Structure 1
Amino acid sequence: MPFHAPQWEATKPIAGTTRGVSEGPNVSEAAPRHRVRSPRSRIILKRVGIGFAVFLMALTLFAVYEYKKLQGNIDTVEFDPDPRPAAVAPKAINILVMGSDTRDGANGKGIGGDTPGLSDTTMILHLSANRKFAYGVSLPRDAMVMRPSCRRKDGNGKDPGGLTMFNTAYAVGGPAYTVKTVERLTGIRMDHFVVVDFVGFKAMVNAIHGVKICVPTEVNDTVGNINLPAGTYTVTGQQALDYVRVRHDIGAPTGDIGRMKRQQSFIAAMIKKVISAGTLTNPIRTLNFLEAATESLTTDPEFANLKQLASLGNSLKNIGLDNVQFITVPFQEYAPDPNRVEWSSDATALWSLIKRDKNIGARFNDGAVSPGSGTTPSANASSTPSGNASGTPSGNASNTPSSKPTKSQAEKDAEAEAAGLCT
C-alpha cells in the first residue's frame, strides 16, 4: 500500500524558510497565533456572502414590486375642470372623504337593497398647516342643498343641479362632482379626495384585527337586513360594515344623524388602533392594511401616491390623538320636509374657520369625538380642551366668545342614546 504523507495546514511563511508549509506538528510554536481559514472555509464564507447578497436583492425587488403593486391598486379620477376656490392657507390640507355604497361586483355580495351609487358618508378632513391639530366635519347625506350644474358621470349630457339632497351629487356626477358641490357650498378648496367602498372598508378593519364597539340594545333591522347583539365586543368584516351602516332600528329617531355619530366614533377607534396599537410597527400587518386600503381606493391623481398617503398617516400620528376631533356640520330641520335637514347659519362660521386654518374652538367642539377619548365607539366626547394651535382659547369665526350654551351631561347622554351609542 502506498504511503501518503500527512497534509499539514498552510500558514504564513516562517522566518528563514521559503515555503509556507510547516515542518510538522512539532513546530507549532513557530506558527502565528491566529489560524488562516482553509480554502474550504473561504468557499463557505463566499457562498454565505453571495446568499446574503441574493437575499438583499430579493428583498429590494420585493419592496419595489409591492410599492408598484400597491400604488397600481389605486384608481384615479380627475377634478372637475370648472373654476375652483383658491387655497387660503396653502400648507393646510383639506381632503374630502367619501364612502361609496355601490353594490357593483364584490361590493354587493351579502348586502341587500339597490342603489345608484351614493356617498352615504362624506367628511371634510382638515389638517392644520403646522400639523398641531386636525378635525373631520361630517356632512349629512339627507341635507337639502343647492347643487351646481355638472357633467353626468354616465356621459349623458349635463345635470342642471338645483335644490336636492346632498348625496345625489355622487349618484349624478361621481366623486369629482361631489367635490365641486362641496367647494361651491363652502368656498373651501379641497386639496384631495378619497373614496372608499364597502369591500375596502371591511378589508381595512380585518387588517387591524377588528375594532371594539358597544351596542346598547340588540339590533334587528329588517330594512337593511342587519342584526347585531347588544354588548361590547370586537367586530370585523361584514359585522363592522353593518354597524356603521345601520340606521333603521338602532338610532332610528335620528336616522342618518345618529348613524354619522356612530361612524365618527368608529373611525376614531379605528385611527387609535392603527396608530397606537402597534399596527404601523408590524410590517406584515402594515402591508395587509395597505393592500386592503389601496385595492378599494379612488383618489385624485396627485393623491394616488403611497408617499402622499404615508405623509397623511404620519401627520395624524404627529398631531397626537387628543388633537384630532370629529364633528357634524351645524344643521336644522328642513321646514318643508321633517325627514330632511339643512345646514344652519352657524355652518358659515365653521367654513370660515377651516378656510383660515383655525381650530374649531368651543363653539363647535361640544360633543366632538376624538381618538384620544376612548377605545370603544361610544358617547365619549373629546377630552381635548378647546383652543387653537397655540393652546389659547378660541371661539367662533370672529374670535368672540360663543353664546351657544354648553350641553349638560344628561343632554349628551340623551343624544347618545338616540344615536344608538353607549353612554
Structure 2
Amino acid sequence: MSDAEPRHAGVSRRRRIVRRVVVGLCVLAVIATVGVVVAYRQLEGNINAVQIDLGTDRPEQVEVEGPKEPLNVLVMGSDERSGSGIGGETPGLSDTTMLLHLSADRKRAYGVSLPRDLMVDRPDCTGKKGRTVPGAKTQFNAAYNVGGPGCTVRTVEAITNVRIDHFVVINFAGFKDMVDAVNGVKVCVPNEVNDDIGKIYLPAGTYKVNGQQALDYVRVRHGLGLENGDIGRMKRQQAFIASMIEKVVSRGTLANPVRLYNFLDAATSSLTTDRGFAQLRQLASLGSSLQDIGLDNIQFITVPNEPYTADTNRLQFAPEADALWRRIRFDRPLGPLAADAVVPGRKPGELPSDDATKNPSGSPSSASPSTSPSPTTTPDQAAARAAAEAERKRIAEEAGLCA
C-alpha cells in the first residue's frame, strides 16, 4: 500500500469486491432457481392427463404388509397421431401393453407383457362419443380401439382380477425422441432383418441404435424368431426396455444435466396418464423406486399363454397365468415364473451368479443351500448349468435375440 493511500481504502476495495461476488452468486442462484422452476413447470406441463371411466365393478385392493402400498401401473404403447385425442374419435392402436408391478417394500419390480393376439372377454366399455359398447369375445388389442386406455384398463382388470392403480400411454413418436435424448441404446440383432412387410431393415450385430432404428427394432414382427412374431417381439421389447433402463440410470445420463433434461422432456411430452399420476413428483417417485430397487431386481416376463382353442393363429391364457395374477394380487415374487425373465444387464434368460445351481424351472437343485459351496463342480451341477444354458439359448433364438 502506498503512503498516499489510506489503510481504510484497501479495506473498502476488498469489501466492494466481496460484495460484488456475493451479489453475483446470488444472481446465479436466482437464475438457477428460476431455471429449475421453469424446467419443472415445462416438464409437468408436457404430460397429458385424461379422466377415464372405470365403473364400479373393479377388483378390490388386497391389503399386504409393507411400508407402502404395492403399485400396479398399466403401460401402453400407442401409434396415435398428434391431435387425434386419446379416448376420442380415433384413439389409435395399442399393440404393446405391459403391467408393471412394484412391491410394497419397493425391493422388487416386474413387468408382464400381454400379447396383442390374446382372445379375451372384453367387458362393457365407454366408447366413442360416450356410448356404451357391449362386451364381447375379442382380440385383446381391440379394447384400445374401442375405448382407448380406459377400455384397456377395464379389460385387464376383468381378465386378471388385478386392480390397476395408474396407467401410462407412451406415444411411439415420443419414444424415438427418448432414445435420441440418451444418445442411443445398445441392441444385439442376431440376423440381418429385411422385413418388406413392415419396411424395416436392420443389420446384424451388436450396436447402438438411434430413435428410428429403436422403433423399428421393437416393432419388427417378421424376419426374426418363430413364425408367431408377436411373442418374439414382446421379448425383444423387454430386452430393449431393460437396456434402456440400464442406460438411463447410468452416470452418463444422470450426471449429464442437458442429456437428463432432454430425456425427461421427450418422455413427458410423449406421456398420457390418469390425472392422479400426471404430476412430475409422482413419476419421479416411480423412477426413484426403480433406481432404489436395483437392476438385478427388475424382471420382465410374458404372461403364460398357449394357442387359442378355436383358432391357433390366436392365443389364450395358459393355466399358469392364474398363478401369476395371484402373485401380483398378493404382492409375491415371481418365483418359477421368472425362469426366462429378461433382467437389465443380463442376457435373456440368464440366471444370476448365485442361482447357477438352479435348473431352468427355477427350482433349487440337489445342492443344499445351508452348506458351503464346494470349490469343485459336481456332475449334477455341471449338468444343471448346461441344461440352463441350453434352455436360455433356445429361448433367445426363438425370440430373435442374441444367445
TM-score band by shorter chain is 0.7 to 0.9
Number of aligned residues: 366
1:77 to 1:184, Cα distance in 2 relative to 1, 3 A: same
TM-score (norm 2): 0.85
Which of the numbers 350, 364, 380 marks the counterpart of 1:381? 350
1:239, distance to aligned residue in structure 2 (A) = 0.4
Contact 1:274 1:280 in 2 (8 A): yes
Residue 147, structure 1, aligned to residue 122, structure 2: yes
Q: Distance in 2 between matches of 1:135 and 1:236?
A: 26
Q: Is the 8 A contact 1:370 1:382 kept in 2?
A: no
Asked if 2 retains the 8 angstrom alpha-carbon contact of 1:359 and 1:394, the reply is no
Please point out which of 284, 295, 299 is paired with 2:258.
284
1:192 corresponds in structure 2 to 166
| 1:10 correspondence with 2:12 | no
Q: Structure 1: which 5+ residue stretches go unaligned?
A: 1-5, 13-35, 107-114, 387-392, 396-404
Residues 320 and 126 from structure 1, CA distance in 2 versus in 1: closer, same or farther, beyond 3 angstroms?
same
Q: What is the SS of the residue equivalent to 2:328?
A: helix
Q: Deviations for 1:102-157, whole angstroms, at most 9, x for unmatched residues?
A: 24479xxxxxxxx96111110111111111111110000110000001111x3151
Within 5 Å, which residues of 2 pair with 1:208-247?
208-247=182-221
Q: State which drifts further: 94-103 or 79-88.
A: 79-88
**Alpha-carbon distance in structure 1 between the residues aligned to 2:74 and 2:300:** 14
Q: Is the CA contact 1:331–1:343 (under 8 Å) kept in the aligned structure 2?
A: yes
Match of 1:308 among 282, 302, 310: 282
Against the structure 1 CA distance between its residues 411 and 49, is the aligned structure 2 distance closer, same or farther, given a 3 Å change threshold?
closer
SS at match of 1:421: coil
Is the contact made by 1:322 and 1:384 (CA closer than 8 Å) also made in structure 2? no
Q: What TM-score results when the alignment is normalised by the length of structure 1?
A: 0.81
Could you say if the C-alpha distance between residues 116 and 179 of structure 1 is closer, same or farther in structure 2, counting changes exceeding 3 Å?
closer
Whether the 8 Å contact between 1:325 and 1:382 is mirrored in structure 2 is no
Aligned equivalents of 1:157 and 1:116: distance in 2?
15
| Segments ≥4 residues shifted beyond 6 Å | none
Matches of 1:384 and 1:357, distance apart in 2: 25
| Superposed CA offset, 1:300-340 (max 9, x none) | 11111111111111111111111111111010101221111
Q: Find the counterpart in structure 2 of residue 412 from structure 1.
A: 392
Q: Secondary structure at the match of 1:371?
A: coil
3-state SS of paired residue (1:82): coil
Deviations 1:1-48 (A, max 9, x none): xxxxx9722236xxxxxxxxxxxxxxxxxxxxxxx6354443343333
C-alpha offsets along residues 336-373 of structure 1, whole Å, 9 cap, x if unaligned?
211110011211111111010000102x0111110142
CA RMSD, Structure 1 to Structure 2 (Å): 2.4
1:72-96 alpha-carbon deviations (Å, 9 max, x no partner): 1000122424012222146111110
Structure 2 CA distance for partners of 1:245 and 1:384, relative to 1, 3 Å? farther
Q: Whole-Å Cα distance in 2 between the matches of residues 172 and 360 of structure 1?
A: 32
Q: Could you tell me how far apart the structure 1 residues matched to 2:234 and 2:351 are?
A: 16
Three-state SS of the structure 1 residue aligned to 2:208 is strand
Amino acid in structure 1 at the alignment position of 2:72:
N
Bigger drift between 327-336 and 407-416 goes to: 407-416
Q: Which residue of 2 aligns with 1:95?
A: 73
Name the residue aligned to 1:131.
106
Q: After alignment, is 279-288 or 169-178 more displaced?
A: 279-288
Q: Work out which of the residue numbers 76, 82, 92 in structure 2 matches 1:117.
A: 92
Once the two structures are aligned, what percentage of the paired residues are identical? 55
2:349 touches 2:392 (CA, 8 Å); kept in 1?
no
Task: Look up the SS of the partner of 1:340 in the other structure.
Answer: strand
Do 1:169 and 1:178's aligned partners in 2 also have CA atoms closer than 8 Å? yes
In structure 2, distance between residues paired with 1:382 and 1:270: 20
The answer as to whether partners of 2:91 and 2:147 remain within 8 angstroms in 1 is no
C-alpha contact (below 8 Å) 2:54/2:154 kept by paired residues: no
- Higher alpha-carbon deviation: 320-329 or 278-287: 278-287
Where does residue 231 of structure 2 map in the other structure? 257
Deviation at 1:282, TM superposition (A): 2.1
For 1:415, the aligned partner's letter is: I
Give the partner amino acid of 1:150.
C
Q: Which secondary structure does the structure 1 equivalent of 2:341 belong to?
A: coil
